[in-house]
Structure 1
Amino acid sequence: MRKKIVTWMIDNGSIDEEEREIYEYAIQSLKLLIMPVFYAVFMGYILQEWRITACFVFVFAIVRKFSGGYHAKTELQCTFFSILSIFAGVEITRMIVPG
């Protein structure tokens, strides 16, 4: 999909062909940044725990930023482990913090 977006941008004259790789990388990076937020919002909706989800994601993002985190081999594995981590973190917090 990112290649189609960049091709469209080139065809419209927004960017030059020489910048293709940079924009493809930027779109991929943006996607990897936005998707965990989407997962967190989805999990907050499913679990009806907005405050706990927001707090967990905030703390999780800080810890991940400085620890490096786990790097899955595929994007599908990354998605699965992200959703599982958010779900487990929120559920554990619900058990610890009376509600």
Structure 2
Amino acid sequence: MFKSCAQKITSFLALNKEIDSSEYDVYAYGFEVLISFIFNSIMIIATGILCNKIIHTIIFLTCYCPVRQFAGGYHAENYKRCSLTFLGMFLVTVFTDKYLVASISPIFLGIYTFISYAGIYSLSPVEHRNNPLNEGEKKKYKKMARLISSIIVIFILVALTKNSLHNYAFYAGSSLFWIFIMLVLGIIKNIRRV
């Protein structure tokens, strides 16, 4: 579905001479990724609205998406699995919040965040086989993943000092946790492929 839509958009732009047809594949892939991102974001935001957690959802997405872009990690074999994996991660976060966060101490949330941050700091970027990075890109991606993660950790630490913001800290921390898990799974998947 995403691939078909991307190809239609790219063909339309190539026919109208808006893009160079020799770069058709690059544009088609770019549109495919963009359409997938938009679909997944809308799906998660809709879930957040249904769960009455819209601000929490926005915090989760704002923390998750930029770090994941630079950190890399596990990628599902198709868009359906990708969407279901992302939705599953978010639903686990929402249900954990609903049933456990009130009883979790700020110290535990701080430790949870630190472990996730340390994993991102040391493991990223984890390349995807279809998108290998040169040394310059690896350095840039590592730097960006570390920088954005550091900003999120500062937000979490500030939020943990105020009782009314613990839930927001949990969602930001969960985004780092899931990225760390995706990095570990990506490394495992890359090792199995070799």
TM-score band, normalised by shorter chain: 0.7 to 0.9
Distance 1:94 1:63 in 2: 25
State the Cα distance separating 1:66 from its structure 2 match.
6.2
Q: Give the TM-score normalised by the residue count of structure 2.
A: 0.44
The yes-or-no answer on 1:10 pairing with 2:25 is no
Find the structure with the greater CA-based Rg: 2
Name the residue aligned to 1:72: 76
Q: Give the TM-score normalised by the residue count of structure 1.
A: 0.78
Query: Equivalent residue of 1:85, what SS?
Result: helix
RMSD between aligned residues: 2.4
State the Cα distance separating 1:62 from its structure 2 match.
5.8
Distance 1:11 1:77, change over 3 A: same
| Length, aligned pairs only | 99
Range 55-64 or range 78-87, more displaced: 55-64
Name the residue aligned to 2:133: none
Distance 1:14 1:62 in 2: 29
Distance 1:20 1:64, change over 3 A: closer
Instruction: Identify which of 20, 29, 32 aligns with 2:33.
Output: 29
Name the residue aligned to 1:90: 94
What 5-or-longer segments of structure 1 have no aligned partner?
Answer: none
The yes-or-no answer on 1:60 pairing with 2:57 is no
Amino acid at match of 2:81: Q
What 5-or-longer segments of structure 2 have no aligned partner?
Answer: 104-166, 168-194
Asked if the contact 1:56/1:89 (under 8 Å) is kept, the reply is no
Distance 1:36 1:69, change over 3 A: farther
Query: Equivalent residue of 2:19, what SS?
Result: coil
Superposed CA deviations along residues 44-66 of structure 1, whole A, max 9, x for unmatched, are 11111112222333343366456
Query: Equivalent residue of 2:41, what SS?
Result: helix
Distance 1:62 1:14 in 2: 29
Asked if the contact 1:56/1:90 (under 8 Å) is kept, the reply is no
Distance 2:42 2:36 in 1: 10
Amino acid at match of 1:27: F
